[in-house]
Amino acid sequence: MNPISPGAKVKVLFVCDQNRLRSPTAEAIFRDDPRVEVRSAGCRNDATVAVTAESLQWADLIFVMERSQRNLIRTRFEEIYQRKRIICLYIEDVYDYMDPMLIRLLTERVEPHLASSSPDAF
């Protein structure tokens, strides 16, 4: 895992299937958080922004919405997968963009990891 310089923002990548609803919502709600720099991507071939080796390398912390995305990352980018902290949020693909319930779930499930993401954690 890549160390983070003291005072540096944690680089967070949010990943879902198509990068249309869940991960863009996460990117939008955490965009102004001073602790992080955020991006989003999707694992499917038809994703708006596809997850790449470069996007995974960039990230200090990767949140996937479902285990299937973590498994795809492991299959496609095994070497990177071994070196990255990937957290599954267990959020199903049943929400619209900026759905209030989705925002609540993302906030509740991501925040504990950000609160504990000091530079020493990486």
pLDDT of 117 over the 70 cut: no
pLDDT of 85 over the 80 cut: yes
All structural domains of the chain, each given as residue ranges with its CATH number in brackets, are 10-115 (3.40.50.2300)
Phi, psi dihedrals of residue 110, rounded to the nearest 5°: -90, -40
- 25-69: pLDDT as tens digits: 999 999 999 999 999 999 999 999 999 999 999 999 999 999 999
pLDDT at position 122, please?
44
What gap in Å lies between CA 112 and CA 119, rounded to an integer?
A: 15
Q: Are 15 and 63 in contact (CB under 8 A)?
A: yes
What's the pLDDT band for 4 if we cut at 50, 70, 90? low
- Token pair recorded at residue 105: 């779930």
pTM above 0.75, yes or no: yes
pLDDT at position 23, please?
98
